Amino acid sequence: MDAQKKIQAISDEFQQLQTELEGLVDARQKLESQQQENQGVQSEFAQLDDESNIYKMVGPVLLKQDKTEATMAVNGRLEFIEKEIKRIEKEIEEKQDKSEEKRSEMLQIQSQAQQQQAAAASA
Amino acid sequence: MELSPGSVNLASLSLPQLRSLQTRLTSELEHLTTSHAKLRAAQAKFRDCVRSINDGVTGSESKGTTGRDEILVPLTSSLYVKGRLTDREKVLVDVGTGFYVEKTPEKAIAFYDDKVKGLDENLVELEKIVQAKNSQLRVVEEVLRQKMLSGEGADAGAQSA
């Protein structure tokens, strides 16, 4: 059956889109938790007085860091994460639109096939 | 999503739809419960930190640790060496993302208490959601059972037979 093959192909594409969508949602979740952690550090730094000692873990050693330097690093990371989240959110939207398209395409072919069958039966 | 609660009459759904709703709610509930357990574990870890500072660094009368500098330093989870506490005034606190901040014990305790409090708020929120999901699931299961008992279940059975 021609219609069945078409439906199969579209359903495969639909599945593909769904897995891609899942991957993107996972990525966004990871970014969000990173964002939260960085925001926590940022607010912690904001409460510190300027003399407090800040160290950064680099591999197996702790390196002493300037407060302004550390704050800048965290701010930079937050900026980057925000951009990434926006980018991924846009991709998620695109994928959702595409899979919605596929879904309606599938339904259309299905109803067409049903109509043809009904016509054939009544003829 | 078409399944936002309250806007859809559950009784109007078909058996397969109800079943998929049931599995979805169950998996959501599972996910939320593991999150809940993780938050609890994190909270316990922070409480442990506070306890360690109180008993170990500051020293407590009742535990007999005041003024005693000998400690055992864990090198691995099963190997310890003797050490000596040389500084009770400063501790290094992991504030996340690889940053460590030097703090006084009092400030460190305040930091951890803050974390515990924040987690408490999250836990309360999460418990509310878990309860809501739980009651939703119960309603769905109830409707499902009624449908199975009444005509539709028999119909579906007759069709598949």
Q: What is the pLDDT of residues B85-111, one digit of tens each?
A: 999 999 999 999 999 999 999 999 999
A58 contacts B99 by C-beta, under 8 angstroms: no
Worst-scoring range by mean pLDDT, A36-45, B2-11, B72-81? Answer: B2-11
* Torsion angle in degrees (nearest 10) through CA of B37, B44, A30, B136: 30
The residue among B39, B49, B53 whose CA lies nearest residue B94 is B49
Are the Cβ atoms of B100 and A70 closer than 8 angstroms? no
Mean pLDDT for chain B overall: 88
Cα separation, B149 vs B11, in Å, equals 13
The residue among B48, B28, B30 whose CA lies nearest residue B40 is B48
Query: pLDDT tens, position by position, for chain A (123 residues)?
Result: 677 888 889 999 999 999 999 999 999 999 999 999 999 999 999 999 888 999 999 999 999 999 999 999 999 999 999 999 999 999 999 999 999 999 999 889 888 888 888 888 887
Q: pTM for the whole thing?
A: 0.77
Question: B160 pLDDT band (50/70/90 cuts)?
Answer: very low
Q: Are strands B70-74 and B80-84 parallel, antiparallel or unpaired?
A: antiparallel
User: What SS3 class is residue A79?
Assistant: helix
Q: What is the pLDDT of residue B6?
A: 52
Domains (range + CATH), chain B: 33-147 (1.10.287.370)
B56 contacts B71 by C-beta, under 8 angstroms: yes
**Cβ pairs A/B, distance under 8 A:** 46
* Torsion angle in degrees (nearest 10) through CA of A113, A119, A121, A122: 160
Beta bridge partner(s), residue B18: none
Give burial (CB, 10 Å; 0-12/13-18/19+) of A116.
exposed
Q: Are strands A61-65 and B70-74 parallel, antiparallel or unpaired?
A: unpaired
Q: What is the pLDDT of residue B155?
A: 52
Are the Cβ atoms of B99 and A77 closer than 8 angstroms? no
A residues 20..79 contacting B (CB < 8 A)? 34, 37-38, 40-41, 44-45, 48, 52-58, 62, 65, 70, 74, 77
B89 contacts A53 by C-beta, under 8 angstroms: no
**pLDDT value at B153 more than 90:** no
